[in-house]
Each structure stands twice: as C-alpha cells, then as structure tokens.
Amino acid sequence: DSGVTQTPKHLITATGQRVTLRCSPRSGDLSVYWYQQSLDQGLQFLIQYYNGEERAKGNILERFSAQQFPDLHSELNLSSLELGDSALYFCASSDGGDYNEQFFGPGTRLTVL
Amino acid sequence: AQSVAQPEDQVNVAEGNPLTVKCTYSVSGNPYLFWYVQYPNRGLQFLLKYITGDNLVKGSYGFEAEFNKSQTSFHLKKPSALVSDSALYFCAVRDGDGGFKTIFGAGTRLFVKA
C-alpha cells in the first residue's frame, strides 16, 4: 500500500459527460501528479501541483483541468468526454524534492461509452 | 527536451537466469533516473533511482541498475530472475537542469518462465 488513495476505482460514463477523479496524497507529501495510461499512448504525464500551485504541465487536454486544495488532496476534472479518454488515470505523490521518487495510487479506470 | 527510450517491448527470460531491461535517456542537464514496476491492476511501485555518486544502484527485490553517462543508459538488472518478477517495467527520467517533469518510457513487459 503506497498510502495514496484514489476514488472512484471504476467509472463508466457516456460521451459528452463530465467526471471528477479524486486523489489523496501520502501524509506529508506536498506534490501531486496526474498521469493517463492507455494501451496506445503508454503512461502520459498530465499535470503536477505543489502545495496548491501548478508546477508542471504535460500533455493535458484543454477539456481537462485539475486543482490541489488546501488539505493537499487533488481533483482531476474531465469534461466533454470522448471515447478516446477511456484509460487508467493515476495519481502519484512525493514530498516535492527534486530527486525524490513518486508513490502511485491504485488508479481510476474510466470507461467512456 | 528530455526523453527516455525502452527499446524492447518485451523481454523473456528463464527463471534463475540473469535479466536485463534496457533504458536510454536524453536530457540537457544532469539526469535523475528511476525504475518503477507495475503488476497487473496495480499502480506503479518505485524500485530504485540514480541521482549522483556510484554508478551501480541497488534497489528493491534484488534489482540493481547501472548508470552509464557516455552511453546515456540506465539498464535494470537482476542476477537471478524469479517468476514473480514478471511485470511491466518503466524507466523514467527527470532533467536536473531545473525541469520538474518526470518523463516515463513506454514500458517493457518482462516474462519469466519457470
């Protein structure tokens, strides 16, 4: 158990809908990262937050947004969903040090029908 | 821009034999290198990292990796493979020259046959 929790575990929705994925980092970790894992694209870095502020941005679509709250939990919002958004979404956390490893949650599997 | 390559989609090895999973990288500054493992239906787990110092890094579950600056490689190794090592392995790199992104390779699936 990494100490990172993600809810829900599974999510099934329809095209055009909006969903919110939630992540609680390990106790004491200030950084939260979001990744998308799909069969054809591999593991894609989406965005990182550090202590409430956006720190780095990867291949995140404009339809997607994220935030980190004062209690350090984070939410990833996916809107106008398309079939291609079906994937496993991982949250990871670290203490924010430049060379520290990340601890991954179990993931949320999103299926868009 | 930083990048990482895992040239093999799949590696097959017999139990008890040594294994190597390859990784090469490209960064502008000093590299921070990581290996993670993913078991089915699980999140990634950290195995080991290279930041600075000794080129041979030891990690969890008997794995080690060798940093080679001239070849820009960071290959993962284990002297004697176990069937339970069968999983998906990811190499990752972070550019020490002020970059915050960690870029992951495409992953290499390791099959260890009994």
Q: What is the mean pLDDT of each run of 10 residues along chain B (114 residues)?
A: 92 98 92 93 92 92 95 97 96 78 92 96
CA separation for the pair A46, B96 (Å, rounded): 20
Looking at residue A10, its pLDDT comes to 96
Question: A65-103, pLDDT tens digit by residue?
Answer: 999 999 999 999 999 999 999 999 999 999 877 678 999
The count of CB pairs under 8 A between chains A and B is 52
Question: Rounded to a whole number, what is the distance in angstroms from the first to the last CA of chain A?
Answer: 31
Record: contact A42-B34, CB cut-off 8 A: no
Give A-chain residues touching B99 at CB under 8 angstroms. 56
Which residues on neighbouring strands pair with residue A93, listed in sequence order?
A32, A103
The Cα diameter of chain B in Å comes to 45
Inter-chain contact A101–B49, Cβ cutoff 8 Å? yes
Task: Give the pLDDT score at A98.
Answer: 67
How many other C-beta atoms are found inside a 10 Å radius of the C-beta of residue B31?
23
Domain residues for B9?
Answer: 3-113
Calpha distance A4→A107 (Å, rounded): 10
pLDDT of residue B9: 95
Out of A45, A90, A99, name the one closest to residue B43 (CB): A90
Query: Which pLDDT belongs to residue B99?
Result: 64
Which residue on chain B is closest to A31 by alpha carbon?
A: B100
B94/A10: higher pLDDT: A10
Identify which of A20-29, A48-57, B26-35, B97-106 has the greatest average pLDDT. Answer: A20-29
Q: State the average pLDDT over residues A40-55.
A: 89
Residue with tokens 């090592």: B85
Cα distance between residue A94 and residue A84, in whole Å: 29
Nearest CA to A19 out of A104, A86, A91 is that of A86
Give me the phi and psi of A83, to 5 degrees please: -55, -35
CB A21 within 8 A of CB A5: no
Give the domain CATH number at B23.
Answer: 2.60.40.10
The tally of domains found in chain B comes to 1
- What is the Cα Rg of chain A in Å? 13
Compute the mean pLDDT over every residue in chain A, rounded to the nearest whole number: 93
Chain A residues with beta carbon closer than 8 angstroms to that of B94:
98-99
**How far is A13 from B21, CA to CA, in rounded Å?**
38
